[in-house]
Amino acid sequence: MTRYIDADVLLLDLTYQKATFESVQGGRSGLFAKGVACGLDGAIQSVKNAEAEDVSPVKHGKWVEYVDDRWGASYYSCSECGKPPLKEERTNRQCLSNFCPNCGARMEE
Ligand SMILES: [Zn+2]
Protein backbone atom coordinates (compact mmCIF):
# COMPACT_ATOMS: atom_id res chain seq x y z
CA MET A 1 0.00 0.00 0.00
CA THR A 2 1.33 3.41 -0.93
CA ARG A 3 2.03 5.61 2.03
CA TYR A 4 1.46 9.36 1.53
CA ILE A 5 3.14 11.97 3.71
CA ASP A 6 2.96 15.74 4.05
CA ALA A 7 6.02 16.98 2.13
CA ASP A 8 5.93 20.39 3.80
CA VAL A 9 6.14 18.82 7.27
CA LEU A 10 9.04 16.63 6.13
CA LEU A 11 10.87 19.64 4.64
CA LEU A 12 10.40 21.55 7.87
CA ASP A 13 11.80 18.62 9.86
CA LEU A 14 14.82 18.16 7.57
CA THR A 15 15.55 21.89 7.62
CA TYR A 16 15.29 21.87 11.41
CA GLN A 17 17.64 18.87 11.63
CA LYS A 18 20.18 20.63 9.41
CA ALA A 19 20.01 23.86 11.43
CA THR A 20 20.34 21.89 14.69
CA PHE A 21 23.31 19.96 13.35
CA GLU A 22 25.01 23.14 12.15
CA SER A 23 24.52 24.84 15.51
CA VAL A 24 25.95 21.81 17.35
CA GLN A 25 28.94 21.77 14.99
CA GLY A 26 29.58 25.45 15.82
CA GLY A 27 30.89 26.34 12.39
CA ARG A 28 33.43 23.49 12.19
CA SER A 29 33.87 22.27 8.67
CA GLY A 30 35.37 18.78 8.92
CA LEU A 31 34.61 16.01 6.48
CA PHE A 32 31.95 14.53 8.78
CA ALA A 33 30.12 17.88 9.09
CA LYS A 34 30.29 18.43 5.35
CA GLY A 35 29.00 14.92 4.71
CA VAL A 36 26.04 15.31 7.05
CA ALA A 37 25.16 18.75 5.64
CA CYS A 38 25.48 17.43 2.09
CA GLY A 39 23.23 14.45 2.93
CA LEU A 40 20.56 16.66 4.48
CA ASP A 41 20.71 19.06 1.51
CA GLY A 42 20.26 16.11 -0.83
CA ALA A 43 17.27 14.86 1.13
CA ILE A 44 15.71 18.34 1.14
CA GLN A 45 16.20 18.67 -2.60
CA SER A 46 14.75 15.21 -3.23
CA VAL A 47 11.59 16.08 -1.29
CA LYS A 48 11.29 19.39 -3.17
CA ASN A 49 11.68 17.62 -6.53
CA ALA A 50 9.30 14.76 -5.75
CA GLU A 51 6.20 14.70 -7.93
CA ALA A 52 3.04 15.39 -5.96
CA GLU A 53 0.14 12.93 -6.13
CA ASP A 54 -3.43 14.10 -6.18
CA VAL A 55 -4.67 12.76 -2.85
CA SER A 56 -7.11 14.03 -0.28
CA PRO A 57 -7.25 13.27 3.43
CA VAL A 58 -9.40 10.34 4.51
CA LYS A 59 -12.51 11.45 6.36
CA HIS A 60 -13.59 9.31 9.30
CA GLY A 61 -17.15 9.20 10.47
CA LYS A 62 -19.74 6.95 11.98
CA TRP A 63 -23.37 6.13 11.47
CA VAL A 64 -25.32 8.10 14.06
CA GLU A 65 -28.52 6.42 15.20
CA TYR A 66 -31.67 8.33 16.03
CA VAL A 67 -35.03 6.91 17.02
CA ASP A 68 -38.38 8.09 15.72
CA ASP A 69 -40.48 8.16 18.92
CA ARG A 70 -43.73 7.86 17.03
CA TRP A 71 -42.84 4.55 15.39
CA GLY A 72 -39.98 3.34 17.58
CA ALA A 73 -37.88 2.82 14.48
CA SER A 74 -34.17 3.56 14.27
CA TYR A 75 -32.65 5.61 11.49
CA TYR A 76 -29.06 6.48 10.76
CA SER A 77 -27.20 9.39 9.26
CA CYS A 78 -23.55 10.12 8.54
CA SER A 79 -21.74 12.06 11.27
CA GLU A 80 -19.79 13.99 8.61
CA CYS A 81 -22.42 15.06 6.08
CA GLY A 82 -25.67 14.25 7.87
CA LYS A 83 -27.04 12.27 4.95
CA PRO A 84 -28.60 8.81 5.30
CA PRO A 85 -27.02 5.60 4.04
CA LEU A 86 -28.32 3.81 0.97
CA LYS A 87 -31.31 1.53 1.35
CA GLU A 88 -31.45 -2.12 0.39
CA GLU A 89 -33.62 -2.36 -2.67
CA ARG A 90 -35.59 -5.43 -1.60
CA THR A 91 -36.25 -4.58 2.08
CA ASN A 92 -35.97 -0.76 1.95
CA ARG A 93 -33.81 -0.94 5.11
CA GLN A 94 -30.84 1.33 5.57
CA CYS A 95 -27.59 -0.43 4.71
CA LEU A 96 -24.78 0.63 7.09
CA SER A 97 -21.85 0.39 4.71
CA ASN A 98 -18.17 0.85 5.56
CA PHE A 99 -18.14 4.12 3.60
CA CYS A 100 -20.65 6.95 3.37
CA PRO A 101 -22.02 6.89 -0.20
CA ASN A 102 -22.55 10.67 -0.07
CA CYS A 103 -19.27 12.12 1.27
CA GLY A 104 -16.93 9.10 1.16
CA ALA A 105 -16.17 9.10 4.91
CA ARG A 106 -14.73 5.83 6.19
CA MET A 107 -17.08 4.57 8.89
CA GLU A 108 -15.72 3.44 12.23
CA GLU A 109 -17.11 0.33 13.86
ZN1 LIG B 1 -21.27 11.33 4.74
pLDDT digits (tens, 9 = 90+) for 70-96: 888 889 999 999 999 999 999 989 999
Q: Is 79:96 a contact under the CB 8 Å cutoff? A: no
* Protein residues placing their CB within 5 Å of the ion ligand 1: 78, 80-81, 100, 102-103, 105
Compute, in angstroms, the gap from residue 59 CA to the centroid of ligand 1. Answer: 9
Cα–Cα distance for residue pair 98/61, rounded to 1 Å:
10
Q: Is 63:85 a contact under the CB 8 Å cutoff? A: yes
Strands 106-107 and 60-61: parallel
Closest CA to 103 of 81, 71, 70: 81
87 three-class SS: strand
Compute, in angstroms, the gap from residue 78 CA to the centroid of ligand 1. Answer: 5
What pLDDT, on a 0 to 100 scale, did the predictor assign at position 3? 87
Neighbours of 15 (CB within 10 A): 12
- Looking at the whole model, is its pTM more than 0.75? no
Compute, in angstroms, the gap from residue 18 CA to the centroid of ligand 1. Answer: 43
Cα–Cα distance for residue pair 9/12, rounded to 1 Å:
5
- Given a cut of 70, the residues of the chain with pLDDT beneath it are 27
